[in-house]
Each structure stands twice: as C-alpha cells, then as structure tokens.
Amino acid sequence: MNILIVDDEQLVRWFLERALTRWGHKVISVSSGKEALSALGGGEFDLMFTDLRMPEEDGSTLISRLGEITDRKVPKVVICSAYVTQELAEKYKGEGIMVLRKPFRLEELEKILSGVS
C-alpha cells in the first residue's frame, strides 16, 4: 500500500514510517495538513494517517478538503490522535474513517491495516 502520514510530532511520524515500511508499505510522511495536500496532489495513496491537532491546517480541515481531489483516488483515512472522544470516534466511524488513539501499540496498528481493503 501507498501510505501518507500526517503528524506534527516527529517521533510519531518516525514510528509509523518505520513500522509500515518494515511491513512492506511505501510511506511518505509530512508534518502539516498543508504539506499533506501538496503530497496528495502529487501522488496516489491508499491510506492516510492524520493527527487532529496540528499547526497551519488541522486534521479535520484536511479530511474535509479531501473532496477537492478530483483527479486521483481519495485515500482511506485513519485519525491518529490522543484527542478523540468516544462521541467523535463514533461520528468518524459513521463517515468510514478509522480511529487509532495515541498512544497505541503495534497490535492496534496491525488491526487497522487488516481492516483496510
């Protein structure tokens, strides 16, 4: 899979990139929603992990702007954040968005990946 990681925390990007690359995925990581939109315009991704709280453009805004992508496949989205309430998780689930709460374990990441088809 081609995967985009969007998180302003360098350690989170490094951890996800390392695990996903070891499992055979192609990974690009960026630190902001603005950078993510640029990456999405330049390549196709099957999956996007995004934090909710980031400077410049937050994860919610980034998700809402995915509809602007008209010439490429829109990736499936995983919210990867410590700031997801149960209510918000249910809302996102209803929209087909998966949630991975920080901090997470490798087993939880594997479960998310197994749910992506």
Domain boundaries, the chain: 2-114
- What the block records as the tokens of 12 is 């989170």
Q: Tell me, what's the pLDDT at 70?
A: 67
Quick check: 29 and 17 in contact, CB under 8 A?
yes
- Written as one letter, the residue type at 52 is L
Single pTM value for the model: 0.93
- What the block records as the tokens of 44 is 């196709």
Q: Tell me, what's the pLDDT at 117?
A: 60
DSSP 67: G
pLDDT tens-digit profile of 61-87? 999 998 887 677 889 999 999 988 899
Structural fold of domain 2-114: Rossmann fold (3.40.50)
Nearest to 27 by CA among 6, 51, 57: 6
- Average pLDDT of each block of 10 consecutive residues along the chain (117 residues)? 96 96 97 93 93 88 85 90 90 93 93 85
